[in-house]
């Protein structure tokens, strides 16, 4: 008997008729489009409307000002929790729904309804937020009603009402979790703010104790939470009190234990939550004390620049990774199955060879920035970390096709033109600290820094990023057995999500990043070679290097 081939995730989501074809209109495509449109509209609305003009108003207008931000926060939490937990409840229904939707055309009357509702919503918004005194409860109600109608019509355009009912009915307890999370969000945010003062006092005391062990004279002004040495002192603001790290750690550890609950022994595994919180709170005090000691040593630019912005993330990532890896190896906390599995090692396609060079760049970048002021003098660390990781996994890469054709450099050139064009359209950027930083270096050190920066841009960054985004993420979104997926395989979801992730990592150049991601994916798909994507990426970066070094456009670095 011949077993039918297993259905991969793209087939489940896109439906059989469109399997493997780009721009199909299966469920995943519809959900991605829906989220994309809603996020875009939300960005426009939140940029355009200022609820501040409604503060102090009577009736519903005042309520919008008072509770609008909280409601929006709760909606974001509600949607993410519902999507995350609801997915596991309805995933068995996605294959038949995907098949149905792939054969059905969208209902255009709902799109017309969405456009009409949003047009009326825009008109009512301009009246409501005009600051005029004639705004009454009826106008606010109409504004809310048109907004809700716009949302509902938008959802129904992409996902038919019958399918929505089916998915909503199958989500079960996910509704309860989402509603509970949304309800407690404003209370948690407000409670967190009330804890700022006591947390600041506690952190102040901890920092004082740590500093006393290293410097003879610690200067403290408790009224302003100012602490330091005669040479360098800082004020511990609410945001530095340690509560942000505590909040993130609380969420991380709770989610970790929930998602991987089968791997742990309860209730003892719950100890991970307070251990993580305590560790991150203490590390925040160590961070502030270190910052003062760095400033006291004469490196105030590093203390207040890179170290200040990076140390918090380094501490959070360190604690989160340590908790995740160590607790899985502890028989007292983990189930026997998990400990045995961890000790036996690799048994499924490992993403390590694809992800580690990119992760090495990210980790080295965090360390490099933390030890820098406005000029990242230790940038060569990124190149060395990536090159070392690439050499470590060289045997794995030997099996890949690194050749490339003429179209790859062409794609790279197109991305370069778009990159520069979009950068110019975006307008002026803040003045780059690079020229001043380079000018302060001796000539030899300047040449070495520029050589490493150029080599990283043209060699290690393209290889590492293409391995991570096109080699791993794009194919992993098509199938969990990603190494069996041809480099020529495409799905709308895989290209969209991998390009979006690639774009978001390029900061305020995210639009250019997304377009670049799509074009590099096109280059890879054409011949099914990762070499084409790498070559296209390398050409883009090489041209940007020339543009920077020749034309002095330092803000592009």
Partner 1 sequence: MKAVGMMLLLVGAMTAANAVPAAPEIDGGSAASAVALLSGALLVLRSRRKK
Q: Does 517 participate in binding partner 1 (rule CB under 8 A)?
A: no
Name the one residue in this structure whose structure tokens are 């949003």.
Answer: 118
Q: Does 476 participate in binding partner 1 (rule CB under 8 A)?
A: yes
Q: Which is nearer to partner 1, 141 or 342 (CB)?
A: 342
Q: Which is nearer to partner 1, 146 or 368 (CB)?
A: 368
Spatial separation of the C-alpha atoms in residues 271 and 334, rounded to whole Å: 12
Q: Does 172 participate in binding partner 1 (rule CB under 8 A)?
A: no
Helices 352-370 and 380-392 sit at what angle, rounded to 10 degrees?
160
**Residues 47-76, interacting with partner 1 (CB under 8 A):** 73-74, 76
C-alpha distances (whole Å) from 313 to each of 58, 138, 283, 307 are 43, 47, 11, 10
Determine which helix (DSSP H) or strand (DSSP E) holds 235, and give its type and residue range. Answer: strand 233-235
Q: Does 309 participate in binding partner 1 (rule CB under 8 A)?
A: yes
Which of 192, 205, 388, 413 binds partner 1 (CB under 8 A)? It is 192
Q: Does 247 participate in binding partner 1 (rule CB under 8 A)?
A: yes
Q: Write phi, then psi, for 196 (nearest 5 degrees).
A: -55, -50
Least Å distance between CB 179 and partner 1?
A: 15
Q: Does 464 participate in binding partner 1 (rule CB under 8 A)?
A: no
Binding string, 318-357, against partner 1, x = CB under 8 A?
--xx--xx--x---------x-xxx-xxxxxxxxx--xx-
Q: Which is nearer to partner 1, 313 or 547 (CB)?
A: 313
Measure the CA angle with vertex 202, ends 198 and 205; round to 5°: 140
Q: Does 256 participate in binding partner 1 (rule CB under 8 A)?
A: yes
Q: Which is nearer to partner 1, 47 or 344 (CB)?
A: 344
Neighbour-count burial for 516-553, b at 16+ CB within 10 Å, e otherwise: bbbbbbbbbbbbebbbbbbbbbbbbbbbbbebbeeeeb
Name the one residue in this structure whose structure tokens are 């309805």.
Answer: 90
Q: Does 143 participate in binding partner 1 (rule CB under 8 A)?
A: no
Q: Does 237 participate in binding partner 1 (rule CB under 8 A)?
A: yes
Least Å distance between CB 38 and partner 1?
A: 14
Report residue 32 as tokens: 């991605």
Spatial separation of the C-alpha atoms in residues 256 and 306, rounded to whole Å: 29
Binding string, 356-385, against partner 1, x = CB under 8 A?
x-xx--xx-xx--x----------------
Taking contact as CB under 8 A, which single stretch among the options 245-253, 270-278, 388-396, 426-434 is the one that binds partner 1? Answer: 245-253
Q: DSSP per residue over 385-417, as a string?
A: HHHHHHHHTHHHHTTS-----THHHHHHHHHHH
Which of 312, 373, 380, 462 binds partner 1 (CB under 8 A)? It is 312
Least Å distance between CB 458 and partner 1?
A: 21
């Amino acid at each position: 008997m011949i077993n039918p081939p297993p259905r991969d995730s793209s087939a489940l989501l896109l439906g059989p008729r469109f399997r493997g074809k780009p721009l199909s209109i299966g469920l995943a495509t519809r959900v991605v489009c829906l989220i994309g449109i809603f996020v875009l509209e939300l960005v426009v609305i939140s940029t355009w409307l200022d609820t501040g003009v409604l503060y102090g108003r009577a009736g519903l207008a005042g309520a919008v000002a008072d509770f609008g931000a909280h409601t929006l926060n709760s909606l974001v939490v509600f949607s993410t929790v519902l999507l995350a937990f609801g997915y596991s409840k309805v995933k068995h229904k996605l294959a038949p729904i995907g098949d149905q939707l792939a054969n059905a055309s969208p209902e255009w009357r709902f799109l017309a309804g969405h456009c009409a509702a949003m047009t009326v919503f825009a008109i009512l918004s301009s009246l409501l937020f005009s600051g005029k005194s004639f705004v009454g409860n009826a106008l606010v109600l109409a504004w809310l009603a048109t907004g809700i109608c716009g949302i509902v019509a938008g959802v129904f355009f992409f996902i038919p009402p019958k399918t929505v009912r089916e998915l909503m009915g199958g989500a079960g307890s996910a509704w309860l979790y989402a509603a509970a999370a949304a309800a407690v969000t404003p209370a948690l945010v407000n409670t967190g703010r009330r804890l700022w003062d006591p947390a600041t006092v506690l952190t102040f005391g901890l920092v004082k104790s740590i500093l006393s062990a290293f410097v003879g004279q610690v200067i403290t002004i408790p009224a302003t939470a100012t602490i330091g040495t005669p040479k360098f002192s800082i004020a511990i603001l609410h945001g530095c009190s340690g509560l942000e790290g505590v909040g993130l750690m609380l969420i991380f550890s709770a989610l970790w234990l929930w998602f991987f609950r089968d791997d742990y022994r309860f209730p003892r595994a719950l100890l991970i939550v307070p251990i993580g919180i305590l560790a991150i709170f203490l590390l925040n005090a160590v961070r502030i004390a270190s910052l003062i000691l760095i400033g006291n040593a004469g490196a105030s630019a590093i203390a207040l620049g890179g170290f200040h912005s990076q140390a918090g993330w380094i501490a959070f990532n360190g604690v989160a990774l340590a908790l995740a890896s160590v607790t899985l190896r502890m028989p007292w906390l983990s189930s026997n199955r998990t400990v045995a599995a961890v000790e036996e090692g690799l048994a499924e396609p490992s993403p390590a060879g694809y992800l580690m060079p990119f992760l090495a760049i990210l980790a080295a970048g965090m360390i490099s920035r933390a030890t820098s002021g406005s000029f990242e003098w230790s940038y060569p660390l990124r190149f060395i970390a990536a090159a070392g990781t690439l050499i470590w996994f060289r045997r794995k890469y030997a099996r890949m096709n690194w050749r490339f054709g003429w179209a790859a450099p062409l794609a790279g050139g197109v991305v370069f033109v778009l990159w520069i064009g979009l950068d110019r359209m975006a307008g002026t950027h803040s003045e780059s600290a690079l020229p001043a930083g380079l000018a302060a270096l001796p000539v030899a050190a300047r040449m070495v820094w520029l050589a490493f920066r150029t080599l990283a841009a043209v060699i290690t960054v393209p290889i590492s990023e293409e391995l991570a985004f096109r080699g791993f993420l794009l194919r992993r979104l098509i199938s969990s057995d990603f190494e069996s997926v041809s480099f020529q395989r495409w799905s709308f979801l895989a290209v969209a999500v991998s390009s979006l992730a690639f774009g978001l990592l390029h900061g305020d150049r995210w639009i250019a990043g997304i377009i670049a991601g799509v074009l590099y994916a096109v280059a890879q798909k054409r011949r099914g070679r990762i070499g084409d994507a790498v070559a296209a990426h390398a050409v883009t970066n090489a041209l940007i290097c020339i543009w920077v070094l020749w034309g002095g456009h330092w803000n592009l670095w």
